[in-house]
Structure 1
Amino acid sequence: MTAHTEPAEGEARATARPPLVRELLLVAGLFLVYKLGRQLATGHTGEAIHNAHRVWDLERAVRLPGEGSVQSALLHGDTLVHLANTYYATVHFPATVAFLVWLYLRRPAHYVWARRVLATVTSAALVLPFVFPLAPPRMLAGTGLIDTARVYGPSVYGPPSSDHLSNQFAAMPSLHFGWALMVAVGLIAATRSRWRPLWLLHPLVTLLVIVGTANHYWLDAIVATAMLGIALALIHRPRLTVSTAGRGGAAPAPAEDKILVGAAR
């Protein structure tokens, strides 16, 4: 039995981890599409401001908390608001890349699943600014919100009229939040540690940061969550394996998962 099992596990291991060069090109392409796609949806300033007023009024109509309350908490000290701006500017891409690299090396089957989910959400998110351009709350007059990155630094955006690297009128959905939530969901799904729910702190902090810095509305995060939920429903995750569960200290996975033992190593 052992002699027959080991080759099967070796085959599972070989097929579960995709070729590295191909994956580097795919992931690089995903980030490139993210940047270029948002840039293509520019030139809708008037409509974006109009939609911003509509979103703001809708949030007040359904009694969502005011974004200003989160910003007020950040503005209690220069250090806190500076940390929030730094988190917004520096964590988004590196955390997602680190997540994908770890899955690729340690949980190849989960890596393929996570990459597909992220690609699906990102592709869908790039369509929305074409049909619903949206200015962020920091650009909306009469809200009392300030552009914390411009005032306290660091800032990743220049004036909208001269910013050729990003589309500042693509606030909805918030891929900052959508990707952060997928990182947490993916790590919770791929591990068995009793502490794994703590990964949810990443999207929680991200949510408070994007709202408190006036870069996004609550609805931007809600829409991103809905899009991620649809992608997760359509793209089924692999089950954890016996060896993976054993390393995490949890109960072994069902017997039918043994075929993936090698893939999870």
Structure 2
Amino acid sequence: MSSHTTPAGPADGPAASPRRRLIRELLLVAGLFAVYKTGRMLSTDRTEEAFRNAGRIWDAERTLHLPGEGAIQRLLLHGDALVHTANTYYAAVHFPATVLFLIWLYVRRPGHYLWARRVLAVLTGAALALHLAFPLAPPRMLGAAHLVDTAQVYGPSVYRAAPATDTMANQFAAMPSLHFGWALMLALGMIAATRSRWRVLWLLHPLVTLLVVVGTANHYWLDAIVATVLLGGALLVVPRPRVRAGSLPVVRHLPRPQHGGRAAAPAVREAPAGAVGAGR
């Protein structure tokens, strides 16, 4: 298979165009995140409502016979190093992992990047609406749960001990768990954008995240379940990226010789004829 390439020149457009697209994406993502962080803070003073909702969620989980969050926490509390690692994972992996995921897609899979960015935007917007409509105290604050605030006891912690004095985070925005929602989208995005036979292992990230957010008493099981439902809705409304014909490697087997005396030629792997693309 042959291909023809033409050196880049003035007719190809200004050289700064890729930089402008990158700057636009950075500003867009940063702006969406700033709106989300600002919006979350609007419900920080609804303490009584947040604790009433926490009691309702706790009772609902018992009615549904969901496993107690304490079962996971007791596993973490078997060793200081284990619970410290879980707290560090909660504090340090969530946001950087999502950023690296988007950067990798932007560079290597532009079509999948647009899809993933839109899905995350829809998921985060829906989560913000629910945070405002349903303030929820996490299980570490609920007396009936009898759970340890592992971040405050063992460290590190991203929250202040008194929610009312925390000007950087809304501790009553437990439902849904975006820690889990973003982690699940990262795994699904990488599975969709790669072809490795081991790509299913990306699902370990949301699995570990789920055990961490529950075991550290930052989220209820229902927080993760609701995040999954919202992500499913986002995936339904955002069109998936299209893969153009020829974008995947093609293996062509040469015909075997009609008469003996010569070994069959090996299979020839052709280069991809296109690239992953998506409608804008």
TM-score with structure 1 length normalisation?
0.87
**What are the equivalent positions in structure 2 for 1:92-107 lying under 5 Å apart?**
92-107=94-109
Inter-partner Cα distance in structure 1 for 2:240 and 2:214 = 30
Deviation at 1:62, TM superposition (A): 0.6
Deviation at 1:185, TM superposition (A): 0.5
Inter-partner Cα distance in structure 1 for 2:159 and 2:50 = 17
Contact preservation (8 Å) 2:111, 2:276: no
Inter-partner Cα distance in structure 2 for 1:262 and 1:55 = 43
State the match for 1:250 in structure 2.
Answer: none
After superposition, the C-alpha distances for 1:142-193 in whole angstroms (9 at most, x for unaligned) are 2120100000000000020210111100100000000000000000000110
After superposition, the C-alpha distances for 1:231-258 in whole angstroms (9 at most, x for unaligned) are 00111211345665339xxxxxxxxx96
Deviation at 1:34, TM superposition (A): 2.3
Deviation at 1:130, TM superposition (A): 1.8
Inter-partner Cα distance in structure 1 for 2:140 and 2:101 = 30
- Percent identity, aligned pairs only? 67
AA aligned to 2:101 is F
User: Match for 1:41 among 40, 43, 64?
Assistant: 43
User: Match for 2:275 among 250, 257, 261?
Assistant: 261
Higher helix residue share: 1
TM-score with structure 2 length normalisation?
0.82
AA aligned to 1:261 is A
1:206 aligns with 2:229: no
Question: Alignment partner of 1:49: what SS?
Answer: helix
AA aligned to 1:32 is A
After superposition, the C-alpha distances for 1:168-221 in whole angstroms (9 at most, x for unaligned) are 001000000000000000000001100000000000000000000000000000
Contact preservation (8 Å) 1:34, 1:122: yes
Higher RCO (C-alpha under 8 Å, 6+ residues apart): 1
AA aligned to 2:183 is A
Inter-partner Cα distance in structure 1 for 2:208 and 2:89 = 9
Gaps of 5+ in 1: 248-256
State the match for 2:231 in structure 1.
Answer: 228
State the match for 2:78 in structure 1.
Answer: 76
Gaps of 5+ in 2: 251-271
CA change 1:244–1:215 in 2 (3 A) is farther
Tell me which moved more, 84-93 or 34-43: 34-43
Contact preservation (8 Å) 1:117, 1:231: yes
Question: Alignment partner of 2:165: what SS?
Answer: coil
**What are the equivalent positions in structure 2 for 1:237-252 lying under 5 Å apart?**
237-240=240-243, 245-246=248-249
State the match for 1:181 in structure 2.
Answer: 184
Inter-partner Cα distance in structure 2 for 1:17 and 1:105 = 12
Inter-partner Cα distance in structure 2 for 1:69 and 1:236 = 39
Inter-partner Cα distance in structure 1 for 2:52 and 2:210 = 24
Deviation at 1:33, TM superposition (A): 1.9
CA change 1:244–1:100 in 2 (3 A) is farther
AA aligned to 2:66 is L
State the match for 1:86 in structure 2.
Answer: 88
Inter-partner Cα distance in structure 2 for 1:240 and 1:189 = 11
State the match for 2:199 in structure 1.
Answer: 196
Inter-partner Cα distance in structure 2 for 1:60 and 1:53 = 11
AA aligned to 1:57 is D
CA change 1:262–1:125 in 2 (3 A) is closer
Contact preservation (8 Å) 1:17, 1:108: no
Deviation at 1:114, TM superposition (A): 0.4
State the match for 2:128 in structure 1.
Answer: 126
CA change 1:263–1:134 in 2 (3 A) is same
CA change 1:149–1:25 in 2 (3 A) is same
1:216 aligns with 2:230: no
TM-align CA RMSD = 2.7
Deviation at 1:27, TM superposition (A): 1.1
